[in-house]
Amino acid sequence: MKTDYAIIHKNWNGIEIEIRWNADYCVFDDGHSMAHLEVQSMKPDRAPLPITETGYRSHFIFRSEVEHMGGPEAYVEAWIDEVSRMPEWRNAEVASRQLALF
């Protein structure tokens, strides 16, 4: 198990996020490797994102799937964009902007 992570900072809809990527988190005997991808909202701290209500997501995935999408930044961007179009996220986003009276 390797503990070296590449760190990428990105802004999504005014939220600063950090992407941590370890392409070879676990290498199997057959040569395939399991990668580890972490996404966390930094500013505001732990702000909800379409892929996580808590502002933090840990995801294990095959390295080849992320590379096929163009790397960790492109993968996370596509993942967030896809989920942000779902009604659940849109409804939660609208509700968070409205002030509650009670």
- pTM across the whole model: 0.84
Q: Is 18 contained in some domain?
A: yes
Q: Report which DSSP code applies to 51.
A: T
Provide the domain count of the chain: 1
What percent of the chain has pLDDT above 70?
87
Query: What does the block give as tokens for 53?
Result: 């209500």
Q: Is 60 contained in some domain?
A: yes
Encode 8-37: b = buried (16+ Cβ within 10 Å), e = exposed: eeeebeebebebebbbebeeeeeeebbbbb
Q: Is 52 contained in some domain?
A: yes
Q: Is 13 contained in some domain?
A: yes
Q: Is 81 contained in some domain?
A: yes
Provide the domain limits for residue 51. Answer: 6-97
Q: Is 49 contained in some domain?
A: yes
Per-residue pLDDT tens digits for 20-69: 999 989 988 988 889 999 999 999 999 999 999 999 999 999 999 999 99
Q: Is 1 contained in some domain?
A: no
Q: Is 102 contained in some domain?
A: no
